[in-house]
């Protein structure tokens, strides 16, 4: 998750596409278009920080709950997401995620747990 967040912040669209699970719906888009779209996010958004709240995995599946601080034109777009990853070809790939804007989370967010997040969905 940390590497994907850094890739968003640095505009590394190719890496973001390469780390998607084979079943991810974004892969239906033309490859070059998807790379360009993901790479351009950094032009309008500022990625200010990432905090991992929970991580767990089996041999084939994993999940990460994190808080991401993201701003666009001074507007706070920060969110929490419970991401699901799958192991494909020996590497972890992003399958999907459920997210909530920070405004819907209990404050302070330092007290956020996986169970508390799921109860809010």
Per-residue pLDDT of the chain (121 residues; tens, 9 = 90+): 899 999 999 999 999 999 999 999 999 999 999 999 999 999 999 999 999 999 999 999 999 999 999 999 999 999 999 999 999 999 999 999 999 999 999 888 888 999 999 999 9
DSSP reduced 3-state for 59: coil
Query: Domains along the chain?
Result: 2-120 (3.10.450.50)
pTM of the model as a whole: 0.91
Distance from the Cα of residue 9 to its chain's centroid = 12
DSSP reduced 3-state for 45: coil
Q: Which of 121, 102, 103 is nearest to 51 (CA)?
A: 102
- Give the C-alpha separation, 103 to 35, whole Å: 30
State which H helix or E strand residue 5 sits in: helix 2-10
């Amino acid at each position: 998750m940390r590497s994907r967040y850094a890739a968003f912040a640095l505009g590394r669209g190719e890496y973001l596409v390469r780390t998607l699970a084979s079943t991810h719906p974004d892969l239906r888009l033309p490859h070059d278009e998807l790379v360009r779209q993901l790479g351009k996010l950094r032009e309008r958004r500022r990625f200010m920080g990432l905090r991992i709240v929970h991580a767990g995995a089996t041999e084939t599946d994993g999940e990460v709950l994190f808080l991401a601080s993201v701003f666009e034109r001074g507007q706070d777009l920060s969110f929490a997401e419970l991401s699901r990853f799958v192991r494909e070809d020996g590497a972890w790939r992003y399958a999907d995620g459920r997210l909530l804007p920070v405004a819907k989370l209990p404050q302070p967010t330092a007290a956020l747990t996986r169970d508390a997040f799921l109860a809010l969905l």
